[in-house]
Amino acid sequence: MNVWIAIGVTALGCYAVKLAGLLVPAGVLERPLVRRLAALLPVALLAALTAQQTFADGRVLVLDARAVGLAAAAVALLLRAPFLVVVAVAVLVTAGVRAMGG
Amino acid sequence: MRDALGVGVAVGLSGVAFGVTSAGSGLSVVQSCALSLLVFTGASQFALVGALAAGGGPVTAAAGAFFLGVRNAFYGVRLGQLLALSRLVRPFAAHWVIDETTAVALAQPTRRGVRIGFVVTGASLFVLWNLTTLLGALGAEAMGDTEVWGLDAAGPAVFLALLAPMVKSAVERAVAGVAVLLGLGLLPVLPAGVPVLVAALAAPVVLWVAGRRGSGEGGR
C-alpha cells in the first residue's frame, strides 16, 4: 500500500511541475537566481543518490562490489561511452567481482 | 525527425534498466509499469524505487523524486514559448516535457520543426520506455536474485551517467562534493530517504557561498 501511495504522490507531483512550466508566466521562472538554483538542484540530488546507492547497505556504509562496478562506469563515462554501455559496464563488473567472491 | 527517433529509441531502451532496478527494489511488475506510465521522468523514477528499497517512507521517497522532477518546469517554460500551444493542448503535452524531448525540440530551427521534434521524441520515447519497463520488470522477476547479476549497480550507474554532463564548473563540482558528504555522512543518523533531501541543500548553500565570494572579489 505504501508503494502505491508513493507512486501516486510522485505521479501527481511530477505532472504538476511539468504542467506548471507550460502554464506560468515565463518571468517568474526566468530570474537568474531561480534558474541557477534549478540547474544545481539535480546536481546535488544525483550526486547524493549515486554515492548512497553505491556505498549504503541499509543505514550502514560499506565498500563492496558495487564500488568497483561504479568505478568502471566512471571510466566508461570518461571514454564517452553511450548511456546504456555505461550502465551495462557497471552491472557486468559488479556481477564479475561478486562471482569471484568479492 | 531522424534525431528525434534516434533519441527516442536509444533512451527508450534504457527502460529495461528501470524495469530491472524497480523489480529488484521489490516493486511488482504492475507498480513498475504504473511508474513509467504515470511519472514518465526517468531520474525521478529511479530515485523513488531506490528510496523505497532503502526503507524510506512513501512521502519522503516521493519528495526526493519530486525535487528531481522540478527541472522539468524550467524545460516547460522554454518549450511553452517555442511550441505556442493552445490552452486545451497544454495539459496533454505536459506529460512529455522531459530532458530528451526538450533537448531535441530546442535544437530545431523552425516552429514546425520544434513541434515535430517534440511530438516524435515524446511518442517514440513514451511507447518504448513503457514497453521496455515491462520487459525489464518481467525479466528481473524471472531471474530471481538480481544482486547476483550485479543489477543493484544499474541504479547508481544511471545517476552517475545523468550527473556527469551536468558537472562542468567549479560551483557544480562543489555542489556535488558537498551533496555526497551530506548524503553519506547523514545516512547512519537520519531516517531513510531524508539524507538525500538534506543533501539537496548543497545547491543553495554553495550558490550562496559562491555569490558572497564573487561579490567580495568584485569589490561590490
Model pLDDT for residues B160-218, shown as the tens digit of each residue: 998 998 899 999 999 999 999 999 999 999 988 889 999 999 999 999 999 888 775 54
- Report yes or no: B183 at the A interface, CB cutoff 8 Å: yes
**C-alpha distances in Å from residue A41, one per residue of B66, B93, B171, B214:** 11, 24, 12, 20
Is there a single domain that holds both residue B194 and residue B138? no
Give me the residue label for grid cell 527517433. B5
Whether A80 is covered by a domain: the verdict is yes
Reference B61, options B176, B154, B192; nearest CA is B192
Is there a single domain that holds both residue B28 and residue B133? yes
Whether B82 is covered by a domain: the verdict is yes
Whether A42 is covered by a domain: the verdict is no
Whether B67 and B48 have beta carbons less than 8 Å apart is answered as no
Is there a single domain that holds both residue B100 and residue B176? no
- Residue B216 pLDDT: 55
- Residue A102 pLDDT: 60
The predicted-structure confidence for A31-73, as pLDDT tens digits, reads as follows 888 888 888 988 999 999 999 999 998 889 999 999 999 999 9
- Average pLDDT, whole number, for chain B? 90
Whether A91 is covered by a domain: the verdict is yes
**C-alpha distances in Å from residue B137, one per residue of A82, B28, B144:** 22, 8, 11
pLDDT at B7 over 80: no
The C-alpha of B23 sits at a distance from chain A's nearest C-alpha, in angstroms, of: 12
CA distance A84 to A98: 21
Task: Identify the weakest region by mean pLDDT among B6-15, B137-146, B182-191.
Answer: B6-15
Whether B162 is covered by a domain: the verdict is no
Query: Considering only alpha carbons, which residue of chain B is nearest residue A96?
Result: B150
Q: Are A70 and B59 in contact (CB < 8 Å)?
A: no
Whether A30 is covered by a domain: the verdict is no
CA distance B37 to B151: 22
CA distance B150 to B38: 28
- Residue B48 pLDDT: 95
Domain boundaries, position B173:
167-220
Q: Cβ of B123: how many Cβ atoms within 10 Å?
A: 15
Whether A55 is covered by a domain: the verdict is no
Last residue of a domain, one of B151, B181, B197: B151
The residues in B 32-91 lying below 8 A from A, measured between CB atoms, are 34-35, 38-41, 43-48, 50, 52, 54-55, 57-59, 61-62, 64-77, 79-81, 85, 90-91
The predicted-structure confidence for B71-127, as pLDDT tens digits, reads as follows 899 889 889 888 988 889 999 999 999 988 998 898 888 999 999 999 999 999 999
- Residue A28 pLDDT: 73
Is there a single domain that holds both residue B28 and residue B129? yes
The number of distinct structural domains making up chain B is 2
Is there a single domain that holds both residue B202 and residue B93? no
pLDDT tier for residue B220 given thresholds of 50, 70 and 90: very low
Which site among B9, B102, B163, B189 would you substitute to test the A interface, given the most A Cβ atoms closer than 10 Å to its Cβ?
Answer: B163
- Residue A24 pLDDT: 83
- Report yes or no: A5 at the B interface, CB cutoff 8 Å: yes
Give me the residue label for grid cell 503535452. B93
DSSP A101: T
Here the cell at position B134 is 515491462
Whether A56 is covered by a domain: the verdict is no
Whether B192 and A49 have beta carbons less than 8 Å apart is answered as no
Q: Which of A15, A38, A48 sits opposite B183 (nearest CB)?
A: A48
Domain boundaries, position A93:
63-102
Whether A81 is covered by a domain: the verdict is yes
Is there a single domain that holds both residue B121 and residue B74? yes
ipTM of the shown complex: 0.90
The number of distinct structural domains making up chain A is 1
CA distance B35 to B134: 11
- Residue A83 pLDDT: 83
Which site among B72, B162, B190, B206 would you substitute to test the A interface, given the most A Cβ atoms closer than 10 Å to its Cβ?
Answer: B72
Is there a single domain that holds both residue B116 and residue B187? no
Is there a single domain that holds both residue B178 and residue B87? no
- Residue B219 pLDDT: 40
pLDDT at A22 over 80: yes
Last residue of a domain, one of B126, B151, B176: B151
Is there a single domain that holds both residue B59 and residue B34? yes
Q: Which of A17, A53, A82 sits opposite B73 (nearest CB)?
A: A17
- Report yes or no: B166 at the A interface, CB cutoff 8 Å: yes
Q: Which of B40, B68, B77 sits opposite A42 (nearest CB)?
A: B68
Whether B156 is covered by a domain: the verdict is no
Last residue of a domain, one of B151, B176, B209: B151
Name every chain B residue with its beta carbon within 8 A of the beta carbon of A69.
150, 153, 157
Reference B49, options B15, B26, B17; nearest CA is B26
